[in-house]
Structure 1
């Protein structure tokens, strides 16, 4: 007598995501669980936690057997310590690169063309044209040449910029020479715009500190769409208060930024609250990724985007 096929049990955090996934393969049970209520099952083949929930909800998995945790974020630093034993982690590579690149380019344009000044002037009906910096003809050092870094670089190239990609090791990739991180000291003095797209975690913590910022030329722009911990906040504030550098930041350290923090009021800075991936392009892309994982699990295949947390 043959065994009946095993049911693959998957949870997603919202009815919206469940609907976006669409029809399921045979042998798949999909439940909606936001990790804030008691677990509706004792075991899951895959759990998708809420977006931007960080680690605070992962304690709900303590007594639940989970095969795969499918994050809705690209970054996953530190999550390994919160995963139940035997649970693998997959990140959301392919979901956020486009939206994050959009905000990286948007912040760059806003900072270079002084758009924040014009918005403030509009509030008081003040007509005050000014001569601003361009994006064209600038040298942009893209620190972190993974999915997000490549997406940013490809969008900045048509603005007639010179792109200098930097990664953990030097290499030639698709006709592009990627510089190694050990070359950073030589490259920073020739950088007009420092674009940080690196992930967080111990290997990148404080990578750009007072010494590295001092190597940038006066008037350079620092854009961070990676993780706030890559950039030493106190060192950046000192450069901003001296009006030597400018910054446009989607991520900061700490997050959320306290109301009294001097970064809010430093001259020459734009701060947005970690919204690089928070765009409607995410919805169909996360649904596509989750569906791919479901189909692979149902077929007995290895999931994609599995990372070592």
Structure 2
């Protein structure tokens, strides 16, 4: 008799959503406390856990680690040798793009100001800039960037795409990152959705921000360290630039950090993927991975080793 595929999940809700599957034995473990005995063919860590939690896998017989996040910065340093790691590409793009566009609409149309005015009964109906007709630069054209583009186009925006290298597709030119400083001055909204790595650490620095035109909006749905917080604080505090940030550095942002109170800065607490859209998409990805493993095929979304 063939041994069942052993799948380790971090929480009961995933177990309830996936069981039963013929040929699969499910176990629960959230990387805290002793590991289950025996081989774990597929292991899912908890959502938004720190990469350091994967150190608990040392000495455990694990085949594939299936993350619940798209980003995997810091994982390579702690992932035990011989363990394969897959990210959650396809799970968070919908939700993150939805938040990114929502933050753009809110920032452009002054919704944070209207919410504050509601506390004092202030009626300020001065005109605000639209999202329509704005020139938007997408810095990062992976799954999240493409999902943001798909939602921006119906808003009648003019979208420019930028990836690590230049190429063409059915919509035309995708610029390479080498033309960043040519493109930044041409766009009123700049959306950053690049993965965090050596090339993107503090990509949004003083030079980057200085190249953006007066009154422009920076949207960061990547990772906090992609931006230089001091440079961002300087440009937004002066009123020259605005920002909509789902991620910050440090994170969580301390309650007394001056960025919280800068006019024109909208902050959400790293909730791009944290919506009701995540769970069903995560379940679908896990079902796909389990099906592939049962068939003896390679899993999808493998990013390490």
TM-score when scaled to structure 1? Answer: 0.96
Shift of 1:263: 1.2
Residues 71-110 of structure 1 deviation map (CA, whole Å, 9 limit, x = unaligned):
0000011201111110010000110000000000000000
Corresponding position of 1:257: 253
Asked if the contact 2:86–2:303 (Cα under 8 Å) also holds between the matched residues in 1, the reply is: yes
SS in 1 for 2:136: strand
Shift of 1:41: 2.1
Shift of 1:186: 0.7
Distance 2:50 2:283 in 1: 19
Asked if the contact 2:72–2:87 (Cα under 8 Å) also holds between the matched residues in 1, the reply is: yes
Asked if the contact 1:21–1:288 (Cα under 8 Å) also holds between the matched residues in 2, the reply is: no
Corresponding position of 1:12: 9
Residues 162-195 of structure 1 deviation map (CA, whole Å, 9 limit, x = unaligned):
0010000000123331001111111111110000
Asked if the contact 1:25–1:298 (Cα under 8 Å) also holds between the matched residues in 2, the reply is: no
Q: Please tell me whether residue 47 in structure 1 is matched to residue 48 in structure 2.
A: no
Distance 2:266 2:59 in 1: 43
From 184, 190, 196, the counterpart of 1:188:
184
Q: Please tell me whether residue 286 in structure 1 is matched to residue 290 in structure 2.
A: no
Corresponding position of 2:99: 103
Asked if the contact 1:228–1:254 (Cα under 8 Å) also holds between the matched residues in 2, the reply is: yes
Asked if the contact 1:205–1:230 (Cα under 8 Å) also holds between the matched residues in 2, the reply is: yes
SS in 2 for 1:77: coil
Q: Please tell me whether residue 178 in structure 1 is matched to residue 159 in structure 2.
A: no
Distance 1:174 1:63 in 2: 48
Shift of 1:65: 1.5
Shift of 1:42: 3.7
Asked if the contact 1:65–1:84 (Cα under 8 Å) also holds between the matched residues in 2, the reply is: no
Asked if the contact 1:75–1:91 (Cα under 8 Å) also holds between the matched residues in 2, the reply is: yes
Q: Please tell me whether residue 59 in structure 1 is matched to residue 87 in structure 2.
A: no
Distance 1:48 1:196 in 2: 28
From 230, 237, 243, the counterpart of 1:247:
243
Shift of 1:54: 2.1
TM-score when scaled to structure 2? Answer: 0.97
Distance 2:50 2:39 in 1: 21
Aligned length: 305
From 276, 300, 304, the counterpart of 1:304:
300
Corresponding position of 2:66: 70
SS in 2 for 1:208: coil
Shift of 1:274: 0.3
Q: What is the alpha-carbon root mean square deviation over aligned residues?
A: 1.2
Distance 1:37 1:19 in 2: 22
Q: Please tell me whether residue 24 in structure 1 is matched to residue 21 in structure 2.
A: yes
Asked if the contact 2:31–2:53 (Cα under 8 Å) also holds between the matched residues in 1, the reply is: yes
Asked if the contact 2:138–2:192 (Cα under 8 Å) also holds between the matched residues in 1, the reply is: yes
SS in 2 for 1:30: strand
From 275, 291, 298, the counterpart of 1:295:
291
From 160, 173, 197, the counterpart of 1:164:
160
Greater shift in the superposed pair: 56-65 or 146-155: 56-65
Moved runs in structure 1, 4+ residues, more than 6 A? none
Asked if the contact 2:166–2:174 (Cα under 8 Å) also holds between the matched residues in 1, the reply is: yes
Corresponding position of 1:219: 215
Q: Please tell me whether residue 237 in structure 1 is matched to residue 237 in structure 2.
A: no
Shift of 1:5: 1.1
